[in-house]
């Protein structure tokens, strides 16, 4: 298996006494997986990350053990605690990823690694936990799509990537959901034809990487194989942003959240389109427009927010 290693704290600059403890954590998605060693100061600090294509993972415990080996060999760190955030519903320390044939199991990890304290959590629960480490005044961390003042209260998070993740912070507690699998509501003849073509799609079928491909193929009447990263035509991207905003609006009204955060790998890449078109669709409502117009909407630009949330969750 091929690892790509990204170092944030070099061996030369590392001082073990600077940290109160260490943890191995992971953000396991349908396309990419990051496995990191983090040190805890006042807040978590990523020391290094192993990046892997999720489809190449045969045995997740092997990745854990290799990362622990490197941590010991290069930094002289012994770790017995791990927190792993995965893109799927978690029950009793077990998760099967929604968009990949991969399972992560707490008991299997404990049995076959040096870890003795293990937590498995949903990736959007971890992301919600990581929000507190982001700086709203730094656009490398967060970009605000409107000028509404920051507010306290419940938060809705949506993240388009391989799929569409949705999570909430309610009364200060992070909660995962599978709301990305709610059926997509069509609003006009064009969208009805799109829905008919995709056979009653979920939000995730339009607001995700595969959603970009679905929109592109429908617009251009083609079955051409194309990756989400290759799609650059304005019409496809504008429709994607419109559907993303509609999903966010409906999740917010359902949960009565006070603010919205957009996460995932697609949003930072499309930030100019989000700035141009997201709010117009987001505030469109027969009865709730006034409420929606007051709501701050943010885009998470910082990488590794989910890892930071996982590292601080155990």
Note the pLDDT tens digit of each residue in 92-110.
Answer: 999 999 999 999 999 999 9
**Beta-sheet pairing, 90-91 with 103-105:** unpaired
pLDDT over threshold 70, residue 227: yes
pLDDT over threshold 90, residue 91: yes
Indicate the pTM of the whole model. Answer: 0.92
pLDDT over threshold 80, residue 1: no
What does the alpha-carbon distance between residue 274 and residue 259 come to, in Å, rounded to a whole number? 16
**Beta-sheet pairing, 94-96 with 164-170:** unpaired
**Beta-sheet pairing, 103-105 with 94-96:** antiparallel
DSSP-assigned beta bridge partners for residue 53: 32
Q: Count of CB atoms within 10 A of residue 116's CB?
A: 11
How large is the average pLDDT for residues 271-295?
Answer: 97
Tell me the C-alpha to C-alpha distance, in Å, between residue 59 and each of 83, 127, 290: 17, 24, 50
How large is the average pLDDT for residues 193-213?
Answer: 96
How large is the average pLDDT for residues 13-26?
Answer: 97
User: Binning pLDDT at 50, 70 and 90, where does residue 2 land?
Assistant: confident
Of residues 3 and 309, which shows the higher confidence score? Answer: 309
Q: Count of CB atoms within 10 A of residue 39's CB?
A: 21
What does the alpha-carbon distance between residue 305 and residue 129 come to, in Å, rounded to a whole number? 9
Q: Report the chain's mean pLDDT, rounded to a whole number.
A: 95
pLDDT for 62 equals: 96
The conformation of residue 115, written as its DSSP 8-state character, comes to: -
Q: Which domains does the chain have, with CATH numbers?
A: 4-130+305-311 (3.30.420.40), 151-295 (3.40.367.20)
SS3 letters across 142-191:
EEECCCCCCCCCCEEEEEECCCEEEEEEECCEEEEECHHHCECCCCCHHH
Note the pLDDT tens digit of each residue in 163-188.
Answer: 999 999 999 888 889 999 999 999 99
Q: Return the percentage of the chain with pLDDT > 70, whole number.
A: 100
Note the pLDDT tens digit of each residue in 101-146.
Answer: 999 999 999 999 999 999 999 999 999 999 999 999 999 999 999 9
How large is the average pLDDT for residues 216-240?
Answer: 95
pLDDT for 36 equals: 98
Note the pLDDT tens digit of each residue in 282-292.
Answer: 999 999 999 99
- The gap between the terminal CA atoms of the chain, to the nearest Å, is 28
User: Binning pLDDT at 50, 70 and 90, where does residue 303 land?
Assistant: confident
Q: Return the percentage of the chain with pLDDT > 90, whole number.
A: 94
What does the alpha-carbon distance between residue 81 and residue 112 come to, in Å, rounded to a whole number? 14
């Amino acid at each position: 298996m091929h690892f790509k290693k990204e170092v944030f704290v070099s061996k030369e600059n590392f001082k073990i006494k600077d940290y109160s403890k260490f943890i191995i954590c992971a953000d396991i998605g349908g396309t990419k997986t990051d496995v990191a060693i983090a040190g805890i100061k006042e807040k978590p600090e990523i020391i290094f990350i192993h990046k892997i294509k999720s489809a190449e993972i045969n045995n997740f415990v092997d990745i854990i053990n290799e990362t622990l080996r490197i941590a010991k060999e290069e930094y002289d760190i012994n770790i017995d605690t791990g927190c792993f955030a995965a893109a799927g519903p978690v029950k009793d320390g077990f998760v099967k990823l929604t968009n990949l044939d991969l399972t992560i199991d707490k008991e299997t990890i404990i049995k076959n690694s040096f870890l003795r304290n293990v937590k498995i959590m949903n990736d959007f629960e971890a992301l919600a936990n990581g929000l507190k480490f982001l700086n709203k005044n730094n656009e490398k961390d967060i970009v605000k799509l409107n000028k509404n003042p920051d507010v306290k209260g419940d938060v809705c998070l949506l993240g388009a990537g391989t799929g569409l993740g949705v999570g909430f912070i309610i009364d200060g507690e992070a909660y995962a959901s599978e709301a990305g699998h709610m059926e997509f509501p069509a609003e006009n003849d064009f969208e009805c034809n799109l829905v008919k073509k995709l056979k009653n799609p979920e939000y995730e079928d339009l607001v995700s990487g595969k959603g970009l491909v679905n929109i592109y193929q429908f617009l251009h009447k083609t079955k051409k194989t194309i990756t989400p990263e290759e799609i650059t035509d304005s019409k496809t991207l504008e429709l994607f942003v419109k559907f993303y905003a509609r999903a966010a609006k409906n999740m917010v009204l359902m949960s009565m959240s006070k603010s919205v955060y957009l996460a995932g790998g697609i949003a930072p890449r499309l930030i100019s389109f989000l700035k141009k078109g997201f709010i117009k669709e987001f505030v469109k409502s027969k009865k709730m427009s006034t409420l929606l117009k007051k709501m701050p909407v943010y885009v998470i630009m910082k990488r590794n927010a989910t890892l930071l949330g996982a590292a601080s969750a155990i």
